[in-house]
Each structure stands twice: as structure tokens, then as C-alpha cells.
């Protein structure tokens, strides 16, 4: 997850969401094709979501190759403007690839976790409760409230409390929500590990990703189990 820290069964898409010009099958094919090309190709770098901006090409490629490994026997599911793929890596632990819709109407990789097997399961209702709390806190710039439901390893809530608060104040979703006080979350579905939501605000559509946060000695004692990772604009 170093890059992310540095870069700071299908369900219906939300009615107000953008058109999805993609499928999980097509996304799997793009990943397989990009991994088959030696080196740090344009195709490999293009797998990442554009919200990471002008990230270091070598760091991007290194992250993807190390995280995806052999990408063996992938299977996935779409959740409106989000998708998830489980695959073997060649390591002891398989991986889950989380994707979000990008400006080209295709799914791009948001992050990869070494978890597996949640596709087809049902998300905990606390995901929705905490997603609403996160959006409310981001809208008002309430950093204390946001930290209570933030995923702390990477994403908008990654890093120290002071770093998160500084990031929140200038966050583009914060500005969009201020301009759209009536914008509401749309539940896109999910599973035991991740839940997905859509929201239209400030003239843009965002895919919100929530993740189950495993308790750890490195986390605050009150860290949320079902936590807000980030919002990915289309």
C-alpha cells in the first residue's frame, strides 16, 4: 500500500450515475493483457484510476506488479460504478482488486488488498451508517467526525490526524458537497469486505469505497471497523 499512501453478481447502477461502458470481464482482460507486457508499459500504468494524478510511473508499475502477482483465475462482480475482482497472486495470500468508474466510462483500479473470497456475500449495515457519517463530516469539514469513520492505512484518512485534517480541508469532494447540500448517497451494494456508494455533487459523480478495517495495534483504539477509504470521481 506504499503507493496509495504516497499518492495520498452485479447490482443495478444508481439512476443518477454515469453510464458504465465496461464490464468486469473486459476489466479482467485489460489487466491480464497489461501484465503480459514486459516492463512499465503505458497499458499497465493506465490500469490505475486517474484520481491519483501524475504519479511516478515506476512506483505505479511496481505497486501493480507486486500487488497483482500472477493474477491467477480471476473472478469478479460489478456494483454499479464500482467493481471487485478476486484473484490468485502466486503468494500465500490471494488479492482483491477494487475498481471504480473513471472518466472514460471504464473501471480502473482504486487499490489492491490481500484479502479474498468476499464476492457474493452481504455487506454489514454499519457500512451504510458510517458512509453517511463520513459524507456528513466531509461536507462540513468536521475532521474529528471524519476520523471516527476513516480507513487509516491509506486513502483520504491515511496518515497522521494532522495530515488527514489538512487534506480534508482542501479535498475536492468537500468542496463539491458544500456546493450541493442536498446531495445524497446511493447504495450500490457490496460484500463483507467492501461496500460501494455513489453521489452526485458539484457537477461530478463520485464512487465512494468503504472497507472493513482489521483491528491492529497501529490503529487508534476507536478506529471504525467499517470505514471510509476514498471517493473516486468520474
Q: Is the dihedral of CA 154, 95, 234, 200 positive or negative?
A: negative
At 36-95, the pLDDT tens digits run: 999 999 999 999 999 998 889 999 999 999 999 999 999 999 999 999 999 999 999 999
Instruction: Determine the Cα–Cα distance for residues 2 and 114; give it in Å rounded to an integer.
Output: 14
Is residue 156 very low, low, confident or very high in pLDDT (cuts 50, 70, 90)?
very high
Instruction: Determine the Cα–Cα distance for residues 215 and 75; give it in Å rounded to an integer.
Output: 27
Cell numbers at 145, concatenated: 467526525
Instruction: Determine the Cα–Cα distance for residues 3 and 113; give it in Å rounded to an integer.
Output: 12
Q: Where along the chain do its domains lie?
A: 2-113, 126-233
- CA angle 85/106/24 to nearest 5° reads 30
107-113 β-sheet, strand order: 72-79, 82-88, 95-101, 107-113
Is residue 162 very low, low, confident or very high in pLDDT (cuts 50, 70, 90)?
very high
% residues pLDDT > 90 (the chain): 85
User: What's residue 115's pLDDT?
Assistant: 85
Length reported for the chain: 234
CATH class label, 2-113? alpha beta
Strand partners, 204: 201
Same fold, 2-113 and 126-233: yes
Cell numbers 489487466 correspond to: 31
Is residue 16 very low, low, confident or very high in pLDDT (cuts 50, 70, 90)?
low
Strand partners, 83: 78, 99
C-beta of residue 183 within 8 angstroms of C-beta of residue 201: yes
Q: Where are the beta strands (DSSP E) in the chain?
A: 72-79, 82-88, 95-101, 107-113, 186-190, 194-201, 204-212, 226-233
- Record: fold of 126-233: Nuclear Transport Factor 2; Chain: A, (3.10.450)
Amino acid at each position: 500500500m506504499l503507493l496509495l499512501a504516497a499518492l495520498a453478481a452485479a447490482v443495478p447502477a444508481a439512476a443518477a450515475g454515469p453510464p458504465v461502458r465496461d464490464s468486469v470481464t473486459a476489466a479482467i482482460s485489460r489487466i491480464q493483457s497489461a501484465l503480459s507486457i514486459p516492463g512499465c508499459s503505458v497499458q499497465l500504468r493506465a490500469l490505475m484510476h486517474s484520481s491519483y494524478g501524475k504519479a511516478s510511473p515506476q512506483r505505479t508499475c511496481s505497486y501493480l506488479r507486486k500487488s497483482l502477482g500472477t493474477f491467477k483465475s480471476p473472478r469478479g462482480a460489478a456494483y454499479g460504478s464500482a467493481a471487485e475482482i478476486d484473484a490468485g497472486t502466486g503468494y500465500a495470500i490471494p488479492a482483491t482488486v477494487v475498481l471504480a468508474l473513471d472518466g472514460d466510462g471504464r473501471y480502473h483500479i482504486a487499490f489492491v488488498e490481500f484479502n479474498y473470497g468476499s464476492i457474493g456475500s452481504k455487506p454489514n449495515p454499519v457500512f451504510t451508517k458510517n458512509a453517511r457519517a463520513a459524507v456528513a463530516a466531509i461536507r462540513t469539514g468536521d475532521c474529528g467526525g471524519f476520523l471516527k469513520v476513516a480507513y487509516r492505512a491509506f486513502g483520504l484518512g491515511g496518515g497522521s490526524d494532522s495530515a488527514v485534517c489538512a487534506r480534508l480541508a482542501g479535498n475536492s469532494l468537500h468542496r463539491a458537497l458544500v456546493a450541493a447540500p442536498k446531495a445524497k448517497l446511493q447504495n450500490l451494494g457490496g460484500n463483507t469486505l467492501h461496500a460501494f456508494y455513489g453521489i452526485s455533487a458539484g457537477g461530478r459523480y463520485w464512487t465512494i469505497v468503504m472497507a472493513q478495517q482489521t483491528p491492529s495495534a497501529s490503529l487508534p483504539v476507536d478506529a471504525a471497523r467499517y470505514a471510509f477509504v476514498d471517493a473516486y470521481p468520474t
